[in-house]
Copies of this chain bind each other. A is one copy, B any other.
Amino acid sequence: MGKTLIFGHKNPDTDSITSSIVMANLEKKLGNDVEACRLGNINKETEYVLNYLGMEAPKLIEDAEDGTEVILVDTSNPGESIPNLENVQIKKVVDHHRVALTTPYPLYFRTEPVGCTQTVMYKLYKENNVEIDKTIATLMVSAIISDTLLFKSPTCTDEDKKVATELAKIAEIDMDVYGMDMLKAGTDLSSFTIEEILKLDAKETNLKDKKSIIAQVNTASIDDVLTMKSELEAGMQKIIAENDLDLFMFVITDIIESNSKAIVLGNSANIAEKAYNEKIVDNVIELKGVVSRKKQIVPIMTENA
């Protein structure tokens, strides 16, 4: 039997990447033969974290051999995972999203309704009496800051805040300073093509029977991103045509002001107007106070689809 592979979702964010590293460290401490992996390129925010720690990214994989033992972190959604998930043996799942798969066999499955996988991971370390060192603490707290946008997201729970505060001490970081630097690093789109920007954090979502993509980027200035508006629109139209989409929503989130605007295209664009009771003007809709796709976009858009 080869190593157990640990990975998060495709289009990995800071939580998926750090959770695979942090879970691998825990499993190794428990005597298990595992390897941290990733299913896609590292984003700029995660790059900031890894550079800060002088750490390599986990191994890039596209799939796993049939029969391999795997541990899933930060998602249980087969649509966001390796293509042959049905043919591998899932040993564990640690997550903070909905339960998105069933299994024909018993396994360790732990998901909790908190803002970040690392908040659950922190508990696993405590429960197994494994020490959280400075590096592990930095990885963990970075993911919590990332997923909760420095505690401003409505997905953030008291537990996330408490755990992050504890971890920041071990990591010896000032959360506001380090956190804002890290989030800002993630807003740097300069090295990406339009096609790459549209895919950076894109989730395929069915809004009832409407085939949709809701993509999101963080920024310190929405206007800056909107200087690329016509190029973004052209790219979105291409993806809509190629994938026969009813809707493509590209959400631009101001991480400083905690607001968003979205470019909305497709035959079902009017779902957004109904959902937010706002007019789409020149393909753009204001999403006041919206920062969380999971809590403030997907459910409301689904309801109005």
Residues of B near A110 (CB, < 8 A) are: 109-110
Within 8 A of B (CB), among A74-106: 96-106
Within 8 A of B (CB), among A158-185: none
Contact between A106 and B102, CB atoms less than 8 A apart: no
**Among the listed B103, B104, B106, B111, which residue makes an inter-chain contact with A109, where contact means beta carbons less than 8 Å apart?**
B111
In the complex, per-residue mask of A103-133: 1 if CB is within 8 Å of any chain B CB, else 0: 1111111111100000000010001000000
| Chain B residue at minimal CB-CB distance from A302 | B104
Known: A112-B108, A113-B108, A127-B127. A99 touches B96 (CB 8 A): no
Contact between B98 and A99, CB atoms less than 8 A apart: no
Contact between B111 and A106, CB atoms less than 8 A apart: yes
| Chain B residue at minimal CB-CB distance from A113 | B106
| Chain B residue at minimal CB-CB distance from A114 | B106
Contact between A106 and B98, CB atoms less than 8 A apart: yes
Least CB distance, A78 to chain B, in whole angstroms: 10
A contact patch SS: loop
Number of copies: 2
Residues of B near A97 (CB, < 8 A) are: 106
Residues of B near A105 (CB, < 8 A) are: 98, 113
| Chain B residue at minimal CB-CB distance from A110 | B110
Least CB distance, A113 to chain B, in whole angstroms: 4
Residues of B near A123 (CB, < 8 A) are: 127
Residues of B near A101 (CB, < 8 A) are: 99, 102
Known: A123-B127, A127-B123, A127-B127. A107 touches B113 (CB 8 A): yes
**Among the listed B103, B112, B113, which residue makes an inter-chain contact with A99, where contact means beta carbons less than 8 Å apart?**
B103
Least CB distance, A265 to chain B, in whole angstroms: 26
- Interface centre among A100, A109, A127, by most B CB within 10 Å? A109
**Among the listed B100, B107, B127, which residue makes an inter-chain contact with A111, where contact means beta carbons less than 8 Å apart?**
B107
Q: Which 9 A-B pairs have the closest CB atoms?
A: A106-B113, A99-B103, A109-B111, A98-B103, A108-B112, A98-B106, A99-B102, A99-B109, A110-B110
Given contacts A98-B105, A98-B107, A99-B99, 17 further A-B contacts (CB under 8 A): A96-B106, A97-B106, A98-B104, A98-B106, A99-B101, A99-B103, A99-B107, A100-B102, A102-B102, A105-B113, A106-B111, A106-B112, A107-B113, A108-B112, A109-B109, A109-B111, A123-B127
7 sample A-B contacts, Cβ–Cβ < 8 Å, listed by A number: A98-B103, A99-B101, A108-B111, A108-B112, A109-B110, A109-B111, A109-B112
